[in-house]
Structure 1
Amino acid sequence: MSFSATLRDVTLKYRDGDALSDVNLELEADKIYGLLGRNGAGKTSLLSLLAAFRKPTSGEVLIDGQPVWENAAIVSRVALIREGGDFDDSDTVKAAIETGQIRPGFDTAYALKLAERFELPLKKKVRELSRGKRSVLAAVCGLAARAELTMFDEVHLGMDAPTRDAFYKELLAEYMERPHTVILSTHLIDEVANYLEEVVIVDRGRILRHEELEVLQDMGATLTGPAAAVDEAAAGLEILAEQQLGGTKSVTVAAFAPGTRERAASAGLEIGPVGLQDLFIHLTDPSRNGARR
């Protein structure tokens, strides 16, 4: 059993304005989603609604077709893991893990196995952990929750690159073994791109894009080859990024039309997908029409 998630005409107001405004979003079950947005775009607010940490000002938030607010049966099967986790700082790491047993699906044995793998000091107090180790503890508890909907909100912050890579691989392995719905909110966009099936881009409280990863990446292309040939193929196109090493040049362009693709291919250029991070920066650029910051 896995959970789908639905937001219908959802607005969330704070005293200083709208965190989310007229949001409509449908997330199917059994997929890994990337939730992207600039700082203050509304990502954490959206996740908080799905976890029933907040009640929408207006609209409906549904999990598995049921209202999530004050629905204990649903909320117990949803996990929102935030940076640093929600722990009692006076607990030991082992006690913090064992507290997860209040969730019906929490797998303590799996959590302790992960704790050993990620070298978490079980006897240390949570408050004595480094930022990176505390992030690891939160990630471990999120994986072991075995929730039908698991959301990680910047949980990787503080982890070094090898630890993040191990976390992503463990997340994918756990997902393959037990299909469920996963949402990853992150600023490390290209780092997680290969693990995502669909991408949701939030911009100033609204859903700017919700697409399959491949559809987004097909919006542009990266052209690589002799500098002169690349420049000719990219002439007149919107350039998102470029780099050159000797006589070889690589340019990432937006709005890559089929005819242009054919000309680039006939010129012998290598054509690759656009980087998700480059595309995200382009789509949320406040200077673009319709983009907000």
Structure 2
Amino acid sequence: MSTDHTPRPLDARLENATVRYGRSLALDAVSFEIEAGSITGLLGRNGSGKTTALSLLAGFRAPTRGTVTVGGADPMEEEDVATSVCLIRESGDVIGDSKVADTLEVAEMFRPRWDGDLAHELLDRFEVPLTKNPNALSRGKRSVLGAVIGLATRAPLTMLDEIHLGMDAATRVEFYELLLADYAAHPRTIVISSHLISEVETMLENVVLLDRGSVVHAGGTEELRSQGATLTGRDDAVRQAAADMRVLSERTLGPTTELTVLADLDAAARADLATRGIGVGHVGLQDVVIHMTGRTS
């Protein structure tokens, strides 16, 4: 069964949210907002607090301190909000020892906007048999099953936590294309948590970057990407220009040096560098994230 109406995308917000697991601090007074109707990347290294943050937004647990709101309401207290939020984790959140078809039936029972036609179409496309138990599927097929459920819920807030790790490269590309097409046809708020940043960065309008339980960046993707740059030119000129910048890496070939730096270069700064014979290039989002969350001794 499928539905035709498109619900209003939901915004989501953490305000001074702290989560402790015993003595371990998973989130430390974290505040950020997920813009309604956007695709936002929740990025960070292992242990940065991404899955804990998603669990708060999904209403799976309460913060030790602070507040969590989805569409202005507490996801743990409002049933309408709870059914409007879908979090799919790497495990796929499926019934492992029962047929795939049973998982789809449960999804239809608890998801008011469930699109069964889409689910069956995509599972057939990716050759995921309805009669098999998910535990008997390959890791790649289980990942596909979770991804399909995430799309077919049509939840106003859909969150995908590393669900594509088991997919091969070709399947991941196909899934990204399907995700964007369905997002365009049925607008909603989507949060993607992924370590494959170079693959997903073109989809992301905004990024929340966490490191060791704290927010490093919360805002536009391009704003974060612009924190990094390459400076290329004569060795002495480049090094002089980068004297007050954090140098991430360097390459030298004869008299020419290329430095990768962390620096927020505005138009005036870039124009000044150009007059000094220094070329300014872009740095991929993945490189910026890696270096902004790097460990220092």
TM-score by length of 1: 0.88
Count how many residue pairs are aligned between Structure 1 and Structure 2. Answer: 285
Within a 5 Å distance, the mapping from 1:1-293 to structure 2 comes to 1-102=8-109, 103-223=111-231, 229=234, 232-233=237-238, 235=240, 236=242, 237-241=245-249, 251-255=259-263, 257-258=265-266, 261-266=270-275, 271-287=280-296
Checking the alignment, whether the CA contact within 8 Å between 1:31 and 1:180 is kept in structure 2 is yes
Q: Which runs of 5+ in 1 are unaligned?
A: 289-293
Shift of residue 20 of structure 1? Answer: 1.1
Relative to structure 1, is the Cα distance of residues 95 and 249 closer, same or farther in structure 2, using a 3 angstrom cutoff?
farther
* 1:50-69 per-position Cα deviation (integer Å, ceiling 9, x unaligned): 00111111221111001111
Alpha-carbon separation, structure 2, partners of 1:148 and 1:32? 12
Relative to structure 1, is the Cα distance of residues 24 and 222 closer, same or farther in structure 2, using a 3 angstrom cutoff?
same
Alpha-carbon separation, structure 2, partners of 1:232 and 1:120? 58
Amino acid aligned to 1:158: G
Shift of residue 271 of structure 1? Answer: 3.8
Amino acid aligned to 2:292: L
Checking the alignment, whether the CA contact within 8 Å between 1:229 and 1:269 is kept in structure 2 is yes
Relative to structure 1, is the Cα distance of residues 129 and 271 closer, same or farther in structure 2, using a 3 angstrom cutoff?
same
* 1:264-290 per-position Cα deviation (integer Å, ceiling 9, x unaligned): 5457766432211111111112228xx
Checking the alignment, whether the CA contact within 8 Å between 1:241 and 1:278 is kept in structure 2 is no
Give RMSD over aligned pairs: 2.4
TM-score by length of 2: 0.87
Checking the alignment, whether the CA contact within 8 Å between 1:240 and 1:278 is kept in structure 2 is no
Amino acid aligned to 1:61: V
* 1:224-276 per-position Cα deviation (integer Å, ceiling 9, x unaligned): 6xxx5477435534333456899997653221534652255457766432211
Alpha-carbon separation, structure 2, partners of 1:231 and 1:88? 62
Q: Which runs of 5+ in 2 are unaligned?
A: 1-7
Amino acid aligned to 1:255: A
Shift of residue 168 of structure 1? Answer: 1.2
Relative to structure 1, is the Cα distance of residues 231 and 110 closer, same or farther in structure 2, using a 3 angstrom cutoff?
farther
* 1:188-246 per-position Cα deviation (integer Å, ceiling 9, x unaligned): 1111110000110111111121020111112222356xxx5477435534333456899
Relative to structure 1, is the Cα distance of residues 7 and 194 closer, same or farther in structure 2, using a 3 angstrom cutoff?
same
